[in-house]
Structure 1
Amino acid sequence: MLESGRVSGARAAARTRLRAAPSSQAPPRMSDPTGPHLAPVPDAAASPRKRVKPKVKKLRLLAILLPLAVLAVISTVFGMMMAVASDLPALEQLPQVAKRKNSVLYDVQGKRIATLASNQGRIIVTSDEIGANAKYAVIAVEDQRFYENSGVDLRGIGRAFYQDVIQGRSAQGGSTIAQQFVKNALQAQHNRTVFEKLREAAMAYHLTRKWSKERILTEYLNSVYFGNGAYGIEAAARTYFGADPNHNNCGTPNHPMCASELTPAEAAMLAAIIASPSAYDPVAHPAAAIQRRNLVLKKMLQQDRITQAQYADAIQQQPFYKLAPPHLDTQPGTEYFVSWVRQSLVDQVGPQQAFEGNLRVTTTLDLDLQKAAQQAVNTYLSWAGGPTAAVVAIDNETGEVRAMVGGRDYNTSPFNLATQGQRQPGSSFKPFILAEALRQGIGPGTVFPSRKRVFKVGKNEQFVVNNFENEYAGQSTVANGLTFSDNSVFAALGIKVGTKKVARLAERMGIRTPVSSNLAMTLGGLRQGVTPLDMAHAYETFAAHGRRISGTLGTADDGPVGIHEIDRETGDGIKTVKKNQLKAKRILSQKLADEEAQLLTGPVKFGTATRAQYGGFAAGKTGTTENSGDAWFVGFTDRWTIAVWVGYPNTLKPMLTEFRGSAVTGGTFPAMIWHDFVVAANRIADARNAKERARQGLPPLPSGSTPSSSAPATVTPPAPPREGAAPKGSGTTGGSSGGTSPDAQAPVATTPQQATPAPSPTPTTPTPAPAPTPAAPTTTPATPPAGGAPTTGGTGGTGAG
């Protein structure tokens, strides 16, 4: 009883204290059914338990499953690596390594043109014969944890995965040197499956346990491809630096080894090439190669492989290159084409397969047409010390390269002017401006002033445009401005349609070097030059009725095609590896392309390119830069598109007397070479067609025609020059001489119905001018300037058409 009373008293006191204590809560509502003397019932929305509980469960479940998933992945990968170990072949016993046979190239008619072998035939060197600079440079950029990792660098893979996710592309590789060596040994390609990559990782892991690091590094350096046919570090050192006097002419019998003498800058350059032998080719792309080389040098400095003084000295060095010609067992005259198509083959199947994969490669080259192109060049440019030519001929239907002349002599100058020589196009760039104008509805009859023009550039600069010899028509249609290459008309037209739009269209049509949008580009004065290969490829879009033609065995950027089919000889016969498939992308409407093609007959019929007339359909445009430093004619027939460039290969040198004592222009040597090639090529094609049709019992076709090609539909041709504005030296009336070019000859009296244009006033096959007085020897490297001289000079265009 007493205990019960005490408890009751305590409870009563507690209730009294609770009623007396000030409340921090709002007083209960009188309407609350529980009464005002009770604490309010918390609102359901304020209770966190019901809302958070499902999330807590999910987080708990995720916390359990995520570690399990990671463990499962690790276990799977580890299990696969262990499983591979049971059937790992000894790399030195792989049949791809133990039994090699060189690949053979054939022309499109099945004639053998070359047997491929890596440069210097792959020179195997020992670890002691590879200098420390070469080893450190490669390790710095390809696998900086080489001496610490176990063949598979998980940190590197994680870093690469992070970069790939952040940037949305393959920004950084995670392969170790051991993995890359295994990939090379297995002849694996870049588009490998996940399981193939895991197998490579497993082999690299076990290889690292079996071989020493030095052996792996040495085998890797003996197997990696360095571009320009250089397979292995020693072949690369000899190819790029063997002729350097600083190396005491290494690679010779008295001083054979080059890899042991590489300087930090040279070693870094070779290491830079590995990631992409074509993109970082120090000859074709020196700026990109040097930028990559400097990155390697920076990594070497950060890893304490070179001193600060060595780094400062190395990044200032300009590389010296005099490429040792790769070993090319070729038919005479095909060396430049083979050097180009060899890189395409490497891109398709990898270097080891390309050189030693026992492949039978049918290229796109036509050996008979190649000989015709070489003969056309030799007819006019055979004297020593004179200018040389580059020629590219492309099949209009397939986009396949049928002939390529890249220089005078591959053995003395292996630089390919046809594919690597970036020179200013001059007025041969004007058709791209015309195409954009037609796209915008500006017709060929639109009239522009033909006079000296001054355009403002910014606040304090001017763009001054002159015609050759300051001759103007007063007023000129766009069509006549094209025919007679009127600079004033096309400068105004290019500015009107927009230089950026012209640049984009030229690139879409096939120009793969960056096209600048400066005002001078309206006259072909680009900041970076163009190659004959790209000019032929882009003009082919006109010939192909507005479609840019390429193929699956062409370059990754839809460039021209050099490989028709790749086969492999096996014990069971010939097996097809890859076959080119046609790709066509519509760039211009057919109507617009055919209209432009017909307008481009104007320069050939009665403009600056009459020496190109041959009796059949011909369309094209001449181009001549300031002081005749570069001369072009790019044109097409119903069968082929052909680009011809003439100039001095090693430097930008005026050609003011080389054509019978007069200046070389696009209408002289380039148009004449173009003419001779087309005549010979048509003769070859017609003979083949006649033979085939005779075999089938069909009547012969008319000369110069083919059943599968056709000239663009006829549209109204450019009007003849109007009276009262004849070009200087012409005996005709002249509407828009704009022309003004020394190429411009008396217009041939043609009509749309004329079947055979009259011959040029000058002989088609003149006797070449005598060799000019040799210039003083030059010490510049045998690499053409990247851009040549601008067509416009400092003030604007005076270059001939």
Structure 2
Amino acid sequence: VIYDSEGNILGKLYDEENRVVIPIDQIPDHVKQAVISMEDERFYQHGGVDNKAVFRSIVSLIPGVNMVRGGGSTLTQQLARNLFLTRDIKISRKVAEIFMANKIESVLTKDQILQLYLNEVYWGHNAYGVESASRIFFNKSVKNLNLAEASMIGGLLSSPEYYSPYRDFKRAKWRQALTLQNMVRNGYVTQDEADKAKDQKVYLAGLGKNYKMAHPYFTSYVLSILRQRYDDSILRTAGLKIYTTIDSEAQTVAEDLMAKSIAALRGRNITQGALLSIDPNNGYIKTIVGGVDFSQSEFNRVTQAKRQPGSSFKPFVYLTAFQKKLLNPYSTVMDSPISYPQNGSVWSPKNYDGTYRGSMTVLDAVRRSINTVAVKTLENVGVDSVIETAKKLGVSSKLQNNLSLALGSSELSPIELAYAYGVIATGGNKVKKVSPILKIIDKDGNVLEDNTQFVTIEKVYDAESIDMMLECMKAVVAPGGSGAAAMMSGRDIAGKTGTTSDNKDSWFVGFTPQLVTLVWVGNDNNTSMIGATGGGTCAPIWKKYMSYALSKYPPKPFKRVDSWRNKSVKGIYHNNTSQPANDQETVTITEVTPEPTVSSSDEGITIIEEPKDPDFDNPYTESTETPPPIEGDKIEESALPTISPEDIEIPEPLETQIP
């Protein structure tokens, strides 16, 4: 059983089985007859074993004997195997199967055996038992199936997934016709009835819509972790109770908000979004919205997708400079044109609006998301050092070893980006992992996992450098900042926007000391959005969600470190830019060519890939302004759904079985 953080049931896991038991007298005759006609025509005549079929099946197992397998097991033998035995193809198992079948026939009636069989057998798509199968395929109870539907599922049992109408409808129709033919031969239906059933149109329910699990993006992620850590036998027999970290009310708000927000933004060619919320102090995942609609797409864009983070990567660059004592937030730097010779051409990274603002502080460069300063800073501190910083904070994806890294050219998953931001939120402390699981207990009360008592925290970055970064990131979420749309009264908030100039990805990652929340929007087919930015599109969604989520947390300030505030650090300039103000000293930075990407093939041959043509408008840029609205499709905050605790309908916990 899987529970939320308040002990409410999210779903039930029975060996990954979705099973509903139904009495034999509620199963129509034509359903029983369809199964018998395909699986065991002499069910009512034999005593549990069909001797001719068994002999053929045993001989086929002898090495060197060329005999077609199949058809050896009666319904009773199949039931014995499902209940008591393994599926190993061995003579000893077949002998045991025969013995158990005879025993079952000696103590149970035929109707009792058939009831057990029809409720036990697997029908495909996580449907165990005929009632679950009926709902998976036709969205109705088995007692309401007509002959056409009964004959279709009756033909599935020998290979449920292969013959599934969801996999190949023509193949399923062929099996249906064969089932009806056998039913005619056995005298269960007339030829005319069979012909009419064969021609009758069958309406399928559609996969996904029948899988009822609370908050499926979150719960499916939990299931994926369970399958990685535990054998099927443990999941089947250990009676596990899985207590999760999810805040069900906040999750409901996030799911509703994302669906409505993306619907309002479709005029800008925005079709997908994701939201992730983590407690950075213990790594508990509070909310996962991996897409707009799980029933339409089970792909989890929080945990499975990798996208370019754009300017939301810049904090790793500046953190590195702060730690090396090369800069502080109020050091003066120069926003001016820069160029890098490269393979006979020139790469000239530009700001979003194509302008340059001259002398400014580092804080202003972060607040306005200035690209030129970020690239200069990366050049000065070294690409390897920035990669090391990102890895320390929790980024696990491979990062490109070139200067475009400063502008978010390397793809990351949303969950690792939020994990890394959590270190900034906590003053340099990093939890060992982020997890959706609080505790796992087996049926005997043994604790298999406990993340409530044993949270490992490591100090990975110095508090002074983190506080400098917070000083800059708080300015992002302030008047004039690129993330000003996320401002909330009475809250200490920091964050960073991210947008690629080709408008394929927009981000806002914002946080308080208690909660890190990431919002991403884009398209699965990687087409460009229209005028979307992290500050103009994602930040308002972030604010809507956090207005609800933070209602459960008292306001709390970030930890302040004053040791750096009275120190001056010289500004950084590029030697091919305009000169700085007279009262600042120049730190000369040698022009360098971005390093080529190095990769290795499976054969161990090192391949040097030439850097991309530098004479292009760099795609990793960030806007500091909200784009003008498109007529009839504005993105102002007022266009997003208004959500308050009183407006939210929290569904009752679902007593469900999870696929």
Match of 1:577 among 440, 448, 458: 448
Amino acid corresponding to residue 336 of structure 2 in structure 1 = R
Q: Name the CA distance, whole Å, in 1 between partners of 2:409 and 2:297.
A: 27
Aligned with residue 682 of structure 1, among 546, 550, 553 = 550
Structure 1 distance, partners of 2:221, 2:404, is 31
Give CA-to-partner distance per residue, 1:137-195, whole Å, 9 cap, x none: xxxxxxxxx999xxxxxxxxxxxxxxxxxxxxxxxxxxxxxxxxxxxx9xxxxxxxxxx
Contact 1:342 1:354 in 2 (8 A): no
Partner in structure 2 of residue 363 of structure 1: 244
1:394 matches 2:266: no
Q: Where do residues 571-610 of structure 1 align in structure 2 (5 Å cutoff)?
A: 574-580=445-451, 581-605=454-478, 606-610=480-484
- Between the two proteins, the alignment pairs up a number of residues equal to 430
Query: How far 1:338 moved relative to its partner?
Result: 0.7
Q: 2:393 aligns with which of 481, 489, 509?
A: 509
Bigger CA radius of gyration: 1
2:449 corresponds to which letter in structure 1?
A: K
Tell me the CA shift for residue 653 of structure 1.
Answer: 1.9
Letter in 2 for 1:609: G
Distance 1:147 1:429, change over 3 A: farther
Matches within 5 A, 1:232-311: 253=153, 256=156, 257=159
Q: Distance in 2 between matches of 1:517 and 1:681?
A: 38
Q: In percent, how many aligned pairs have the same letter?
A: 23
Q: What residue ranges of structure 2 are gaps of 5+ in the alignment?
A: 20-37, 40-60, 64-81, 98-121, 127-135, 138-150, 165-205, 569-619, 628-633, 642-659
Question: How far has the Cα of 1:592 moved from its partner?
Answer: 1.7
> What is the identity, as a one-letter code, of the residue corresponding to 1:681?
A
2:361 to 469, 477, 490: 477
Give the 3 Å change call, closer, same or farther, for CA 487–259 of structure 1 in structure 2. Answer: same
State yes or no: 1:106 paired with 2:3.
yes
The 1:768–1:576 alpha-carbon spacing in structure 2 relative to 1, beyond 3 Å, is closer
CA contact (8 A) 2:2 2:241 kept: yes
Change (3 A) 1:233 1:434: farther
Aligned counterparts of 1:765 and 1:636: Cα–Cα separation in 2: 19
Give the aligned residue type for 1:359: L
Aligned to 1:413: 297
Give the SS at the match of 2:456. strand
Cα distance in 2, alignment partners of residues 337 and 372 from structure 1: 14
The one-letter code matched in structure 1 to 2:288 is M
TM-score by length of 1: 0.48
- Post-superposition shift, 1:121? 4.5
Distance 2:62 2:519 in 1: 53
The Cα of 1:111 is off from its aligned counterpart by 1.6
CA RMSD of aligned residues (A): 4.2
- Following superposition, the deviation at residue 425 of structure 1 comes to 0.2
Q: Secondary structure at the match of 1:582?
A: coil
- 1:327/1:768 CA distance change after superposition, 3 Å: closer
User: What CA distance in whole angstroms lies between the structure 2 residues aligned with 1:414 and 1:420?
Assistant: 10
Deviations along 1:577-621, whole A, 9 cap, x unmatched?
321120112220122222212221011113100011012100010
- Superposed, which structure 2 residues align to 1:221-240 within 5 Å? none
Q: What corresponds to 2:335 in structure 1?
A: 450
Comparing 434-443 and 374-383, the one that deviates more: 374-383
Residue 620 of structure 1 contacts residue 634 of structure 1 at CA under 8 Å; is this kept in 2? Answer: yes
Cα deviation 1:260-285 (Å, max 9, x = unaligned): 589xxxxxxxxxxxxxxxxxxxxxxx
- Which of 654, 659, 668 is matched with 2:536 structurally? 668
Q: CA deviation at 1:208?
A: 6.6
The DSSP-based 3-state class of the residue aligned with 1:469 is: coil
| Offset, 1:461 | 4.6
Deviation, 1:545, is 1.3
- Residue in 2 aligned with 1:538? 420
Distance 1:411-1:448 versus aligned 2 partners, 3 A rule: same
Deviations 1:476-528 (A, max 9, x none): 332221110000110111122112221232122112222222221110011xx
Whole-angstrom CA distance in 1 between matches of 2:539 and 2:265: 21
Partner of 1:37: none
| Per-residue deviation, residues 31-79 of structure 1 (Å, max 9, x unmatched) | xxxxxxxxxxxxxxxxxxxxxxxxxxxxxxxxxxxxxxxxxxxxxxxxx
Partner residue of 2:529 out of 638, 655, 679: 655
Partners of 1:417 and 1:654 lie apart in 2 by: 17
- Give distance in 2, aligned partners of 1:351 and 1:592: 47
Alpha-carbon distance between aligned partners in 2 of 1:533 and 1:671, rounded to the nearest angstrom: 18
- 1:346-383 CA-partner distances (Å, limit 9, x unpaired): 23333343355321111011112212322432452234
**Aligned counterpart, 2:73:** none
CA contact (8 A) 1:543 1:712 kept: no
Shift of 1:116: 2.7
What's the counterpart of residue 30 of structure 2? none
- Name the residue aligned to 1:704: 555
Residue of structure 2 in register with 1:176 after alignment: none
Change (3 A) 1:254 1:501: farther
Match of 1:766 in 2: 638
Does the 8 Å CA contact 1:433/1:502 hold for their aligned counterparts? yes
Match of 1:330 in 2: 213
* Separation of aligned partners in 2, 1:480 and 1:147: 79
* TM-score between both structures, scaled by the size of structure 2: 0.58
Measured in 2, the distance between the counterparts of 1:422 and 1:110 equals: 33
How many angstroms does 1:405 deviate by? 0.7
Aligned residue type for 1:583: T
Deviation of the 1:764 alpha carbon: 7.2
Distance change in 2, residues 1:419/1:233 (3 Å): farther
Query: Could you say which structure has the greater relative contact order, defined with CA pairs below 8 angstroms and 6 or more residues apart?
Result: 2
Structure 1, unpaired ranges of 5+: 1-103, 123-127, 130-145, 149-184, 186-203, 216-231, 237-241, 244-250, 263-322, 551-557, 657-662, 687-702, 720-738, 747-761, 770-801
